[in-house]
Structure 1
Amino acid sequence: MNVTLQVDSTPSVSALFLRPWNDGDVEPLVEAYRDPMLRRWTGLSVESIEDAVEWLELQRSGWATGERLSFAVHEDHSGTGEGRLAGNVVMKRTSSSQESAEVGYWTAVHARGRDVAPRALEALTSWAFDTFAVEGLERLDLLHQVDNLASCRVAEKARYGFHQVLPARPPFPRDGHLHIRRADTPA
């Protein structure tokens, strides 16, 4: 699936460009994962070119099966559709139910605090509901650990309402929050 999503700029924020991950993202991915905070919340280890290549293969495989639709998020200051890697957004469709899916995201350290995550998540959310409504997608779930306050703010900004506290279970070592966004959530 060849998908690109554009998120327009405003006077205070740069445009964002979302597209499936590609080989050109290997080195920026390794650079992003040097951030200890990113590693803390994602629980993944991308420390080398080899790790990044393996991670990118997982993303490609996810697109091939339709189970993990992951987008590289780039800040687009020049209007070319390519800029500095700012993060990742993903929709995971692993259950047999087509009614719901799970979303996730991370941002590179240089992109935090500038509304990159909520704007990219909003773009992914709109795309997911538009694209998969015909298959019955009605709800997107967002999970994060209770002590990840930044993720809680991102969820709220992207109109994912808090639903409940979930007990710790892999991959979360601590209790978590479940936020939900429904296809009919008002703007």
Structure 2
Amino acid sequence: MPYTADPVLPAGTLSGAPQPVLRTGDGLLLRPWRATDAPAVHAAFQDPAMHQWHIRAADSEEEVAGWIEEWRTCWQEERGAQWAVVDAHTDGLLGRVALRGVQLDEGVAEIAYWTTAAARGRGVAPRATTALTRWAFGEVGFHRLELMHATANEASCRVAGKAGFALEGTKRSAALHQDGWHDMHLHARVQGD
């Protein structure tokens, strides 16, 4: 059955080129994940705050190595894109920023992020999110980017606002965490915002 509208982004939009390195212009670098990042990711996931807002736990560096391989594969399969957020001078891991749930036909994806405990309060998440958003709209041509977080996660709400994502509403009982169902704020930006 034919569609009545052309795809916003054709197949091959992401996988047709190597995943780029993105710069924030203020000391952060967004780069593709490397297998050697596994120890730093494992260490980041030992922080209790990560368990509060994320549904994954990292039991071993070997497990995390599998995640990194999956993250790297997402680019070729055009279902997501994951970057390590690092200090541009030291290459020290500060966090992660990603496009999840990529729908090329619709030109839509969801932004996701986390930061290491040592990086929190330094503006890493909003700066990385802003750089990824600029690339996704300006270089790739996405139409809409969404960002969701638990309504109780006030820090993520501040990140969304700083990165220019308007609050569109609340999705009730939309995400299951270790402490039960969470209502989720839905923020978004569209091309031209």
Q: Which category of TM-score, normalised to the shorter sequence, fits these structures? A: 0.7 to 0.9
TM-score (norm 1): 0.87
The corresponding residue for 1:130 is: 138
Equivalent residues in 2 for 1:2-151 (5 A)? 2-9=19-26, 15-76=27-88, 78=89, 82-95=90-103, 97-133=105-141, 137-151=142-156
Identity of aligned residues (%): 35
Alignment gaps of 5+ in structure 2: 1-17
TM-score (norm 2): 0.84
1:95-131: CA deviation from partner (whole Å, max 9, x where unpaired): 4642321111000000000100000000010111123
What SS is found at the alignment partner of 2:174? coil
Change (3 A) 1:36 1:148: same
The corresponding residue for 1:12 is: none
Quick one: which amino acid aligns to residue 62 of structure 1? C
Whether the aligned pair in 1 keeps the contact of 2:175 and 2:184 (CA below 8 Å) is no
What RMSD, in angstroms, separates the aligned Cα atoms of the two structures?
Answer: 1.5
Aligned residues: 173
1:45-69: CA deviation from partner (whole Å, max 9, x where unpaired): 1121111111112101211111110
Whether the aligned pair in 2 keeps the contact of 1:26 and 1:49 (CA below 8 Å) is yes
Alignment gaps of 5+ in structure 1: 10-14
1:12-35: CA deviation from partner (whole Å, max 9, x where unpaired): xxx001111111101111111111
Quick one: which amino acid aligns to residue 111 of structure 1? A
The corresponding residue for 1:167 is: 172
